[in-house]
Structure formats: C-alpha cells, structure tokens
DNA sequence: TTCTTGACTTAGACTCTGTCTATTGTAGGA
DNA sequence: TCCTACAATAGACAGAGTCTAAGTCAAGAA
C-alpha cells in the first residue's frame, strides 16, 4: 500500500491528501468500484474532495499503469487496482458485477501480425459476459 | 441486404420507412458507426427521423442478433452489422477507430469451469487496444 | 522558517450518450 | 376503406464524465 504511494512519489507525484485517500480507497478493498463509489468512499474520509479530483486521480493512476479501467457497457467504468497480475474479467450483464479470472495463456500472442492492420497493439482485454449466480437465479 | 429486411419481416417486424433506412445505413458501409452517425446518415435520407427511433431500432436489431454492439470505453457504442461471422475487434485508443479481426480459435473454451464462479457465460469479447496507423504516426 | 511557484483542487456549468413519456402517425389485417 | 396496435416524434430528463476559472497548498529554494 504505502509502496504504491512511494512509487507515485518516485514518479514525481505531489502527495496530496486527496490523492492519498483515493489510492487508499482503491487498495483497501479488492472490489471493482465505479468512480462515483470511489468518490463516496473518499468523501467519507475527506468530505471536501471533489468529483473532478477523483476523476483526475483515477485517470492518472490508469495512465501510470497502477490501476485498470474496466468498461462495463453502458454503465459506469469500474476501476481495478489489481493491475500487476494479468487477468481478465467476468461481467454480469444484468447487475454489472465483476470478477477477476486468471485463465493463463497470452491472448495477445493469438493475434497474428497479418491481422493487426498496422495497429500498434498494446493491450488485450478479454471480457466474458453472462449472468452472475444471483441474477441467473432471479 | 433485402434479405435482412425479409428476415426482419419474417420475425414480425413492421416495415416502416425509418426502420428500412436504419437497416440500409448499417448494411451500406462496413464501417462501425455510432448511434449518432447512424442517425445523421439516416436523416440525410429521411430528415424527420428522430434520435429515439434510431436508438430503438438499433436496440431491436441488437436483440435480434442482426447487429453487434461494440463498447469503446467511454466513447459512444458502435454498431457492427457483421454479426454472423464471429470476430473480434481492434480498437484505437486515441480516435476510437475499429477494425474487425478473425484470429480463429474459441476464446470461450479457454475459460475452465473452475474459473467461472457460477456465472452463466454466454459471450466473450476480445478487444485488442492500441493505436491505429494514423494515430501512431501522429 | 518563510517564500515562491506551479501543480493540484474546487464548484459547478457543460457536453455527450442514451432513455423515457405523452402524443401523434401509420402499416397492414379485416 | 377503416381500425387498431404498434411505431415514430419532440423534447425533457438522467447519468457519466469533462472543462474552466479561481483559489489552495506541497515541496523545493533561500
């Protein structure tokens, strides 16, 4: 946790109370939170923190590679602090719940150069969509 | 093209001018359009068509399986008429451009039951992210 | 310690996608 | 041709995210 803060400081981040709180919220629980949820939890500790700051900080964490953004199709993006271990996502189409999965294998390797059309491919996202046990039961 | 209209009619669709135009716009170019682009092109032929109608029609085409929705992470969804041949997408992180790719192999098969956590998995989306040749050149 | 400065934060207006509603129009069967 | 249920319309609304202008403050310099 504080190594995250150390890493950030090492990269020239100014360590403000707001950034600290956002980083702590993400690291606290291994749940995939929306920006709004991050804001709510951060505001519980630092009531005057603004939405814009949360968005900025999340964006910076994402571009530093410390956090992953998970698109959930229509709903709000969710943020996944578990960025260092490669993994994919299982997303419930009804409620938006997300679980990390670790199937192994490198999906990037499956894409032959001939199929890349000149794109510089830097990431692969594999998203399994379906219903979570609760929604399937419904 | 008109087999699409025939298929739709066969499924009990009422064939209105608006639906016809939306279906034609999607089938015309094999480009992945946003709902707004579809609306703009449809309006060029049928000026009074409303945004709501375009959204409704796209939603219906998607739920009939005639068209795929492609999430592009923050940006507007894009619609892919090429729904009958399984394929994946290459998405430019800067400009949002999309290309279809056909790597072959069944990504769903790569996910062992033990990793499904009780989810009923019905689809896999594989999205390769990177920069398209134009944006990479920039 | 105090000063300085540019990076950060703030509130809230704004934009963009997409949905909903109440009303009006019309495809297609009788 | 007439009817009626299904479809289309305008435009208000909602949610997520971005932008801006003004104020604040972390951290290095003196």
**Complex confidence, ipTM:** 0.77
Q: Name which of A36-50, A61-75, A96-110, B22-36 the model is least confident about.
A: A96-110
What's the pLDDT at B129? 80
Rounded distance, CA A127 to CA B111, Å?
Answer: 11
Percent of chain A with pLDDT over 70: 90
* Angle (CA) B80 B78 B75, round 5°: 160
Rounded distance, CA B17 to CA B9, Å?
Answer: 13
CATH code at A2-79? 1.10.10.10
Q: Tell me how close the Cα of A84 comes to any Cα of chain B, in angstroms.
A: 18
Q: Tell me how close the Cα of A138 comes to any Cα of chain B, in angstroms.
A: 13
* C-beta neighbour count of B133 within 10 angstroms: 13
Q: What is the mean pLDDT of residues B35-55?
A: 94
Protein contacts of strand C with Cβ less than 7 Å away: A 12-14, 16, 18-19, 46, 48-53, 56-57, 74; B 9, 14-17, 34-36, 51-52, 55, 59, 75-77
What's the pLDDT at A97? 76
| The pLDDT of residue A111 is above 80 | no
Q: What is the mean pLDDT of residues A7-23?
A: 89
| The pLDDT of residue B30 is above 70 | no
Q: Name which of A85-94, B54-63, B112-121 the model is least confident about.
A: A85-94
Query: Which segments of chain B belong to CATH 3.30.1490.190?
Result: 85-137
Query: Could you tell me which CATH class the domain A85-137 is placed in?
Result: alpha beta
| The pLDDT of residue B84 is above 80 | no
pLDDT-derived band at A138, boundaries 50, 70, 90: low
Q: How far is CA B104 from CA A49, A117, A130, B67, in A?
A: 48, 16, 22, 20
| The pLDDT of residue B47 is above 80 | yes
Of all protein residues, which has its CA closest to the C1' atom of D8?
A: B53
Q: Do A128 and B120 touch (CB under 8 A)?
A: no
Most confident by average pLDDT, A2-16, B32-46, B79-93 = B32-46
Alpha-helical regions (H) of chain B: 2-10, 17-28, 35-45, 51-63, 133-137
Query: Which segments of chain A belong to CATH 1.10.10.10?
Result: 2-79
B5 vs A67, which has greater pLDDT?
A67
What's the pLDDT at B74? 64
B98: left (phi over 0), alpha (psi -120 to 50) or beta: beta
Asked if residues A113 and A103 have their Cβ atoms less than 8 Å apart, the reply is no
pLDDT digits (tens, 9 = 90+) for A53-96: 999 999 999 888 888 888 776 678 899 887 677 788 888 776 67
Asked if residues B46 and B59 have their Cβ atoms less than 8 Å apart, the reply is no
| The pLDDT of residue B1 is above 60 | no
B23: left (phi over 0), alpha (psi -120 to 50) or beta: alpha
Q: How far is CA A88 from CA A37, A120, B56, B124, in A?
A: 22, 21, 31, 11
Mean of per-residue pLDDT scores for chain B:
83
Mean of per-residue pLDDT scores for chain A:
83
Contact with chain A for residue B109, Cβ under 8 A: no
């Amino acid at each position: 946790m504080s190594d995250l803060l150390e890493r950030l400081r090492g990269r020239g981040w100014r360590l403000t109370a707001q950034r600290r709180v956002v980083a702590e919220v993400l690291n606290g629980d291994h749940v995939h939170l929306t920006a709004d949820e991050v804001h709510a939890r951060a505001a519980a500790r630092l009531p005057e923190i603004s939405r814009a700051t949360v968005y900025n900080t999340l964006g910076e964490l994402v571009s530093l590679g410390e956090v992953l953004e998970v698109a959930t199709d229509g709903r709000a993006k969710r943020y996944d602090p578990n960025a260092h271990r490669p993994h994919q996502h299982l997303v419930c189409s009804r409620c938006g719940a997300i679980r990390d999965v670790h199937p192994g294998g490198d999906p990037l390797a499956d894409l032959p150069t001939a199929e890349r059309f000149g794109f510089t491919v830097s990431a692969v996202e594999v998203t399994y969509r379906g219903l979570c046990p609760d929604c399937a039961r419904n």
